[in-house]
Amino acid sequence: MPQAGAITGNIKTDKKKFEEIFSDCADIKMRQMFLGEEKNIECLVAYIEVAVANVLFEKSALGKMLNAFSGMQTEKMYECLEKNGLGLSDVTVFDTYEEAADGLLTGDAVLFVDGYPHALKVSDKGYPGMGVTEAESEKVIRGSNEGFSDSVKINTALVRKRVRSPRVKVWEKKAGVRSKTNVDLVYIEDLIYPDLLETIKKRLDTFEIDGVLDSGVIEQLMEEKWYSPFPQFQTTERPDRAAMAILEGRIVLLCDNSPVALILPTDYNSFIQTSDDYYNRFEIASLGRFLRYIASFFAMTLPGLYLAVMDFHTQILPTPLLLSFAAARQGVPFPSIVEVLLMELSFELLREAGVRLPGAMGNTIGIVGGLIIGQAAVEANLVSPIVVIVVAFTALCSFAIPNEEFATAFRILKFFFIFLCAWLGFFGFLLCILTVLIHLAHLKSFGIPYLMPVVGADLTGYHDERDSMLRLPLIYLNRRPIFAHVKERIKLKRKG
């Protein structure tokens, strides 16, 4: 890009400079017009072809501006330009060609007027994109069905729609040297720790990259312990979940072109919770959470535990059950670990195929493929029926975990358990459990212990335990969790 300079107000010079900046850009359109009562003032409108509506269309803000200027006297037109006399709500004034180019690339129109040493950005329809859709990956029984869109502006509006307070702040920066993607931090001013906000801003400044096309890029670059399989950022596609997070004193990171928001800091317990846990009565919410905790344990450990018992510690099984397992394995030519790995890899392939195939076909291949492959493998004596049951139950447990990234950590660790248990038996199982627990105990998300409130519960007076594995009735959840500023912990009071 040529060196940017100050806009001169000479339309011929300004046009030449702008054409140099956007040379060989067939999608950038520049139209010359003549304004004023005598049609003697030349102007230039620059815009991206599909991002701006017809400038003469009567409902377009830019069209209204040009139509109004076309009948004005010269002095009055310049006065309107200086003072935004037409009262347009979203007009930005630029002083340099570089700022004007950046403004055009946001999807808006840029106007140069001869004799006016500035450029005006006038908002129009913007880039084409998907509107508000239903959240796909976080289904709930009760609550809003709205999901985030690909536009960061729409996403911030969806959060503000739910928390209508002037204390909700939105801090914005550009990420990506070439993509210049808008990244927004949404938070409630008096609930967060200022140090946390500064830490996140500094972490965003620790890297320089060509382009940021999704929030996943930022997540990987900002992670403190990149080698951990456990995500240190919570992801969500639901505006109500994001609104709930900022009411807890957390910060939501929204990235343009991405329908997935990042919530930080986070902990193990936050990944187990769902939005409708707070919309339903405490009995059903507690049962659901208890099942998810159990599911997260078995999604990681069950195949390894099966191998440890079958290969090393068969004496812990009742004799009838042991004889049943032995009869089921008759004729199987492979050792237990080969059986388990064969079925686990088959299920992982089916899962991946189901994700990549479109729509209903993906759901069909997951169910039908699992049934056919499992049944065929059993009938061919390649695996025993009990292994199919163990692997299918493990997959079911991983599907019960609400957050996909969090569930992925257990899918990876599952193979760690399989290999160590096949090698060392129950001792290997305990070693794996100990390794995972030590890692989780050392893991932090922006200073918050990952195992809150199991560890550090005294920091909040044990109030966070009321909203952990079991959820107490809503009236007892009167304090915000550890994420919120200590002076703003009270969130619910009884009147009278």
Mean per-residue pLDDT, 221-246: 94
Domain chopping of the chain, boundaries: 11-122, 133-266, 286-448, 452-488
Once rounded to an integer, what is the mean pLDDT over residues 471-483? 92
Higher pLDDT, 146 or 70: 146
Q: Is the pLDDT score of 1 beyond 50?
A: no
- Cα–Cα distance, 198 to 183 (Å, whole number): 15
Give the pLDDT mean for 55-59.
Answer: 52
- What is the tens place of the pLDDT at every residue in 206-218? 999 999 999 999 9
C-alpha angle 273/394/294, rounded to 5°?
40
Nearest to 186 by CA among 93, 117, 261: 261
Please tell me the pTM assigned to this model. 0.87
Residue 358 has pLDDT above 90, yes or no: no
Q: What pLDDT, on a 0 to 100 scale, did the predictor assign at position 422?
A: 94
For residue 9, what are the contacts with CB-CB under 8 A and spacing of at least 6?
114, 115, 116, 117, 118
Q: Rounded mean pLDDT of the chain? A: 87
* Residue that wins the pLDDT comparison between 138 and 285: 285
Give the whole-number percent of the chain exceeding pLDDT 90.
48
Least confident of 69-73, 445-449, 474-478: 69-73
**Residue 75 half-sphere exposure, CB side, CA atoms within 13 Å?**
0
| Residue type for position 285 | A
Tell me which of 115 and 187 has the higher pLDDT: 187
Amino acid letter, 8: T
Residue 450 in contact with residue 415, Cβ under 8 Å?
A: no
The predicted pLDDT at position 361 comes to 64
Task: Indicate if the pLDDT at residue 444 is higher than 90.
Answer: yes
* Amino acid in the structure at residue 177: V
Instruction: Report the alpha-carbon distance of residue 236 to residue 147 in Å, rounded.
Output: 9
| Separation CA 496–CA 47 (nearest Å) | 60
* Window from 11-25, 362-376, 377-391 with minimum mean pLDDT: 362-376
State which amino acid sits at residue 426: F
**Does residue 2 carry a pLDDT above 50?**
no
Q: In the predicted model, what is the mean pLDDT of residues 225-249?
A: 94
Within 13 Å and on the Cβ side, how many CA atoms surround 18?
A: 32
| Beta bridge mates, 171 | 185
Contact, 246 vs 187, CB < 8 A? yes
pLDDT digits (tens, 9 = 90+) for 247-278: 999 999 999 999 999 999 999 999 999 988 99
Write down the pLDDT at residue 482.
Answer: 92
65-74, 248-257, 456-465 — most confident range = 248-257
Q: What is the CA radius of gyration of the chain?
A: 29
DSSP letters for 466-482: GBSSSB--GGG--B--T
Q: Per-residue b/e over 351-382, b at no fewer than 16 CB within 10 Å?
A: beebeeeeeeeeeebbeebbeebbeebbeeeb
pLDDT band at 3 (very low <50, low <70, confident <90, very high): very low
**Distance (Å, whole) CA 314 – CA 308:** 9
More confident residue, 85 or 141: 141
Are 229 and 183 within 8 A, CB to CB? no
- Cβ within 8 Å of residue 160, ≥6 positions away: 168, 170
**Which pLDDT band, with edges at 50, 70 and 90, does 86 fall under?**
low
At residue 366 the predicted structure's pLDDT band, cuts being 50, 70 and 90, is: low
Decide: 112 and 14 in contact? Cβ < 8 Å. Answer: yes
Average pLDDT over residues 293-318: 92
54 pLDDT more than 60: no
Which range, of 101-115, 258-272, 285-299, 430-444, averages the lowest pLDDT? Answer: 101-115
CB 475, CB 492: distance < 8 Å: yes
409 pLDDT band (50/70/90 cuts)?
very high
**What local confidence, expressed as pLDDT, does residue 188 receive?**
95
Cα-based distances in Å from 261 to 104, 251, 439, 478: 26, 10, 26, 26
Q: Are 336 and 310 in contact (CB under 8 A)?
A: yes
CB 36 within 8 A of CB 77: yes
What percent of the chain shows pLDDT beyond 70?
92
Q: Which residue type occupies 161?
A: K
How confident is the model at residue 367, as a pLDDT?
65
Instruction: Report whether pLDDT(291) > 50.
Output: yes
- Gap between the Cα atoms of 14 and 71, Å rounded: 24
Instruction: Annotate 344-407 with three-state secondary structure.
Output: HHHHHHHHHHHHHCCHHHHHHHHHHHHHHHHHHHHHCCCCCHHHHHHHHHHHHHHHCCCCHHHH
pLDDT band at residue 4, thresholds of 50, 70 and 90? low
The contacts of residue 126 (CB under 8 Å, 6+ apart) are 51, 106, 107, 108, 151
Taking 90 as the threshold, does the pLDDT of residue 298 lie above it?
yes
**pLDDT tens figures, 26-35:** 888 888 888 8
Q: Can the peptide bond before residue 231 be classed as cis, meaning omega within 30 degrees of 0?
A: no
> What are the tens digits of pLDDT across the range 115-159?
889 898 887 666 776 677 777 778 888 888 889 998 898 999 999
How far are the Cα atoms of 11, 30, 44, 142 from residue 49, in angstroms, in the given order? 21, 9, 15, 42
